[in-house]
């Protein structure tokens, strides 16, 4: 009697049961069919091709873009007694030759190979003559031009279908957004494949978002309660990484920097320490993370805004892979939005790509500013419905104070209009509050009908109003005019006197108002 998948799971891997859709995926592949697997990081994707490769005749070929990842997987499999090997550019010629011989002799259950290596005629010729159990395409989102992991070689992997139409294929990714999913299916000629879509919820991660007032102090406060825990602090730039790491070390935190501009050896050493030692806080750009399997990362902090909600999800997903409680904390301010928008505008992408990037930033801002459950908002952006508020995010735990901002929004929008859509929030607030600054006088803005109509709110509260008008898409930032605020089409109804706007009451302003309301 041949071994069942479950028996094999127990015997080789030592696990008692399958997780989520693993069993269904494995059966599907063993039956010789194609699969597209969308599962969050830590969900257990590897077993989905490792087991069928062992159950089917021949060798399983795994195409993987990351050498470090291949190495880890092959080492782990060998320890379990699985005959696994890898072929990539880091191997000595001799080692590579040995592996190729073993492959030809049918002495390997699984071979991990980089896409470059796979696509050589030499390699493809070799495996033409061999029984192949399956092809697994790991990190399949690398086929997408829009993602930051784009690997041009992945585009040529439709050769699998053309040259070996009878060999089942499985493409796997933890990337959740719908356009990328569709692109994977199309580019890899997986139109017949069955889709296995897992929930992307990470229930043990608690999401928290804060407004930036004094970012460094807020980070220290956050870390103070987490002494001795391992975590990642994501920063936007290399310089910010260096600054933050230095600042934290100066305050007694075991922080290390990591970014692509560092010498390879220093970077590798910091990564090694983060994985081996306890309680290291890694200050890093997004260059850090992909393929790093450290189960007990207790928190991921964003001290700058990520570029998209997919990026945010991937980065925060590195917390709590062991299933224990973990925290995703983000601290952001309007300055971050300006920086990111500027990066988009100054970038070399064509207009359609820029439009997409602006859209992605807006989706992220919607998440940052939402007064709904964060988890519901996050999963909804991936097309997933999460039925009830989660009870494990800041908005669920401490519902944010809100207020009816309809009147304030109207005043702010008309002030933008009266000032000719040529000024930033600082000046507009001076006009609204009736402050006679030199700039106000110079432009004659003290004679506008909107001058002084907003004295009832403090400047900081007005900041919150403008910020939320931007994140709600009623205003946008004009980068050709040093960040001037402009009305969008969506602002019209409110200006006409229709509609309502509920705004989040920012914490500092809320406290102050709370006192005066009571007193």
Interaction site with ligand ADP (CB under 6 A): 15, 18-19, 22, 39, 41-47
Q: Which does 375 bind (CB under 5 to 8 A by kind): Zn ion, ligand ADP, none?
A: Zn ion
The minimum distance between CB 18 and ligand ADP, in angstroms, equals 5
Closest to Zn ion by CB, 2 vs 387, is 387
Q: State both tokens at 276.
A: 């081996």
The minimum distance between CB 109 and Zn ion, in angstroms, equals 43
Q: What is the DSSP string of 73-139?
A: HHHHHHHTT--EEEE-TTS-HHHHHHHHHHHHTT--SEEEE-HHHHTSHHHHHHHHTS-EEEEEETT
Which is it for the CA torsion 284, 70, 122, 55, positive or negative? negative
Q: Which does 436 bind (CB under 5 to 8 A by kind): Zn ion, ligand ADP, none?
A: none
Q: Which does 390 bind (CB under 5 to 8 A by kind): Zn ion, ligand ADP, none?
A: Zn ion
Closest to ligand ADP by CB, 23 vs 189, is 23
Closest to ligand ADP by CB, 139 vs 210, is 139
- Strand, helix or coil for residue 148: coil
Q: State both tokens at 491.
A: 């602002």
Q: State both tokens at 56.
A: 């089917």
Q: Which does 253 bind (CB under 5 to 8 A by kind): Zn ion, ligand ADP, none?
A: none
The minimum distance between CB 73 and ligand ADP, in angstroms, equals 8
The minimum distance between CB 204 and Zn ion, in angstroms, equals 13
Closest to Zn ion by CB, 123 vs 207, is 207
Closest to ligand ADP by CB, 37 vs 428, is 37
The minimum distance between CB 289 and ligand ADP, in angstroms, equals 12
Q: What is the DSSP string of 200-269?
A: ---TTEEEEEEE-SSHHHHHHHHHHTTTT--EEEE-SSHHHHHHHHHHHHHTT--EEEE-TTS-HHHHHH
Closest to ligand ADP by CB, 259 vs 321, is 321
Q: Which does 36 bind (CB under 5 to 8 A by kind): ligand ADP, Zn ion, none?
A: none
106 in Cβ contact with 130 (< 8 Å): yes
Eight-state DSSP code of residue 434: T
The minimum distance between CB 50 and ligand ADP, in angstroms, equals 8
Q: Which does 251 bind (CB under 5 to 8 A by kind): Zn ion, ligand ADP, none?
A: none
Q: Which does 509 bind (CB under 5 to 8 A by kind): Zn ion, ligand ADP, none?
A: none
Closest to ligand ADP by CB, 45 vs 117, is 45
237 in Cβ contact with 424 (< 8 Å): no
The minimum distance between CB 415 and ligand ADP, in angstroms, equals 50
Closest to Zn ion by CB, 389 vs 508, is 389
The minimum distance between CB 226 and Zn ion, in angstroms, equals 21
Eight-state DSSP code of residue 393: B
- The closest residue (CB) to ligand ADP is 44
Q: Which does 396 bind (CB under 5 to 8 A by kind): ligand ADP, Zn ion, none?
A: Zn ion
What is the C-alpha separation between 156 and 188, in angstroms, rounded? 8
The minimum distance between CB 189 and ligand ADP, in angstroms, equals 23
Q: Which does 373 bind (CB under 5 to 8 A by kind): Zn ion, ligand ADP, none?
A: Zn ion
Q: State both tokens at 453.
A: 């109509």
Residue 430: CB atoms within 10 Å: 20
Q: State both tokens at 236.
A: 């936007």
Q: Which does 20 bind (CB under 5 to 8 A by kind): Zn ion, ligand ADP, none?
A: none
CB-facing half-sphere around the CA of 160: CA atoms within 13 A: 27
Residue 265: CB atoms within 10 Å: 8
Closest to ligand ADP by CB, 43 vs 311, is 43
- Give the interface with Zn ion as residue ranges (CB under 5 A): 373, 375, 389-390, 393, 396
Closest to Zn ion by CB, 343 vs 380, is 380
In which region does residue 390 sit, left (phi positive, over 0), alpha (psi from -120 to 50) or beta (all else)?
Answer: alpha
Nearest Cα neighbor of 468 from 380, 400, 419, 515 is: 400
Distance of CA 369 to the CA centre of its chain: 17
The minimum distance between CB 390 and Zn ion, in angstroms, equals 3
């Amino acid at each position: 009697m041949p071994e069942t998948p479950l028996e094999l799971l127990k015997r080789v891997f030592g696990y008692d049961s399958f997780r989520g859709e693993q069993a269904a995926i494995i059966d599907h592949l063993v039956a010789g069919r194609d699969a597209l697997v969308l599962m969050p990081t830590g969900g257990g994707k590897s077993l989905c091709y490792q087991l069928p490769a062992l159950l089917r005749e021949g060798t399983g070929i795994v195409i993987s873009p990351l050498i470090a990842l291949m190495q880890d997987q092959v080492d782990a499999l060998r320890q379990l007694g699985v005959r696994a090997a890898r072929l990539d550019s880091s191997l000595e010629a001799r080692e590579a030759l040995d592996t190729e011989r073993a492959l030809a002799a049918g002495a390997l259950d699984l071979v991990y190979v980089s896409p470059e290596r796979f696509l050589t005629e030499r390699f493809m010729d070799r495996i033409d003559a061999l029984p192949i159990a399956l092809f697994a395409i790991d990190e399949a989102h690398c086929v997408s031009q829009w993602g930051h992991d784009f690997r041009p070689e992945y585009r040529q992997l439709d050769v699998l279908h053309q040259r070996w139409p009878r060999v089942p294929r499985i493409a796997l990714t933890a990337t959740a957004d719908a356009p990328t999913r569709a692109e994977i299916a199309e580019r890899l000629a997986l139109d017949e494949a069955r889709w296995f879509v897992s929930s992307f919820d990470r229930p043990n991660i608690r999401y928290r978002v804060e407004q930036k007032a004094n970012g460094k102090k807020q980070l220290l406060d956050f870390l103070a309660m987490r002494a001795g825990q391992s975590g990642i602090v994501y920063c936007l730039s290399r310089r910010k990484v260096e600054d933050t790491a230095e600042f934290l070390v100066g305050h007694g935190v075991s922080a290390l920097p990591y970014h692509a501009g560092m010498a390879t050896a220093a970077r590798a050493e910091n990564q090694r320490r983060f994985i081996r030692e306890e309680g290291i806080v890694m200050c890093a750009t997004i260059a850090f993370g992909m393929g790093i399997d450290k189960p007990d990362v207790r928190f991921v902090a964003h001290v700058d805004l990520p570029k998209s909600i997919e990026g945010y999800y991937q980065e925060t997903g590195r917390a709590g892979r062991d299933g224990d409680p973990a925290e995703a904390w983000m601290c952001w301010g309007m300055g971050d939005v300006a920086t990111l928008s500027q990066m988009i505008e100054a970038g070399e992408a064509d207009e359609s790509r820029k439009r997409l990037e602006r859209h992605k930033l807006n989706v992220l801002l919607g998440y940052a500013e939402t007064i709904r459950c964060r988890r519901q908002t996050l999963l909804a952006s991936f097309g997933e419905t999460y039925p009830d508020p989660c009870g494990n995010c800041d908005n669920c735990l401490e519902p944010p104070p809100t207020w009816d901002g309809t009147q304030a929004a109207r005043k702010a929008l008309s002030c933008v209009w009266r000032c000719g859509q040529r000024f930033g929030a600082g000046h507009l607030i001076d006009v609204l509050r009736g402050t006679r600054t030199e700039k106000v006088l110079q432009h004659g803005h003290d004679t506008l009908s909107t001058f002084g109509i907003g004295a009832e709110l403090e400047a900081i509260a007005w900041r919150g109003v403008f910020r939320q008008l931007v994140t709600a898409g009623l205003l946008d930032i004009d980068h050709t005019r040093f960040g001037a605020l402009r009305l969008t089409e969506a602002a019209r109804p409110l200006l006409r006197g229709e509609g309502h706007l509920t705004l989040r009451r920012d914490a500092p302003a809320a406290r102050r108002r709370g006192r005066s309301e009571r007193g």
